[in-house]
């Protein structure tokens, strides 16, 4: 939109700038919520979608039996938080085992780092 009055034009420019910043903030929030929202479709598809979105190569080793919803959410948030710390092009391996005491092992190899990093977590679920 254009305005003949310079003060109206300045207010429009300021409003558009504010709108751009709000949209950028909402996109950032959407990225943070991306995996938990998708967990309803399954933990594997949610984490694979996040990895693809962040340009990561992900290899998942999930239990054969379906995890309880609370367990799925906790594991999903844990792994998603870790994936958000990695740079594009990283190779990540995630292994999840257990039902009540869930063991999560994450190994990542980031470009430019000499060795893979190993991370472990145990979650009490149930």
pTM score: 0.69
78 and 85 Cβ atoms separated by less than 8 Å = no
pLDDT in tens, the chain (126 residues): 567 888 888 888 898 899 888 877 766 666 655 555 555 677 888 888 889 888 999 999 998 888 888 888 888 889 988 998 999 999 999 999 998 899 999 999 999 999 999 999 999 887
Q: Given this model, what pLDDT does residue 5 score?
A: 82
Q: What is the CATH number of domain 6-124?
A: 3.30.565
Tally Cβ neighbours within 10 Å of residue 67.
21
122, 27, 40, 43: which is closest to 83 by C-alpha?
43
């Amino acid at each position: 939109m254009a305005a003949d009055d310079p003060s109206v034009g300045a207010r429009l420019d300021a409003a558009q700038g504010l709108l751009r910043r709000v949209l950028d903030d909402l996109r950032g929030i959407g990225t943070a919520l991306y995996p938990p929202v998708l967990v309803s479709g399954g933990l594997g598809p949610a984490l694979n979608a996040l990895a693809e979105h962040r340009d990561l190569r992900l290899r998942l080793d999930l239990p054969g039996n379906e995890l309880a919803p609370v367990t799925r959410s906790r594991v999903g948030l844990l792994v998603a938080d870790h994936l958000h710390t990695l740079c594009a092009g990283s190779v990540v391996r995630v292994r999840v085992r257990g039902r009540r005491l869930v063991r999560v092992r994450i190994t990542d190899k980031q470009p430019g780092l000499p060795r893979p990093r190993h991370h472990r977590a145990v979650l009490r679920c149930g």
